[in-house]
Amino acid sequence: MGRHNDHNIKDVFTFYEEANPRIKKGLDTVKVLEIWHEVMGTTISGYTQKVSFHEGNLKVYLTSAPLKKELLAGKEKIISLLNDALDQPIIRTVEIY
């Protein structure tokens, strides 16, 4: 005898995430922070002091001025790489400090 309300955990979690915008924002922030370190690699992550994400704006604080200059030149590529890794276009701008 089967249950009528059987759902897999992924479907339940997706429904919960879509029904609660605050949860979705928090999960997006965590995903962006994790993806930054994955995509940029250990060298750039080593020079990364702080990463924050809020409403489509990614702020990255670096400890290396030459690296900052190099990343400023490739902001569009960074946005593209990160959004591809996230499988959704949630990053609209990148600010590098």
Return the domain boundaries, the chain. 9-96
Q: Is 68 exposed, middle or buried (0-12, 13-18, 19+ CB in 10 A)?
A: middle
pTM of the model: 0.78
Question: Which pairs with CB-CB distance under 8 Å and at least 24 residues apart come from 6-12?
Answer: none
pLDDT, tens digit, 9 for 90 and up, residues 3-52: 667 778 888 877 877 788 888 888 889 999 999 999 999 999 999 999 99
> What kind of fold does domain 9-96 have according to CATH?
GMP Synthetase; Chain A, domain 3 (3.30.300)
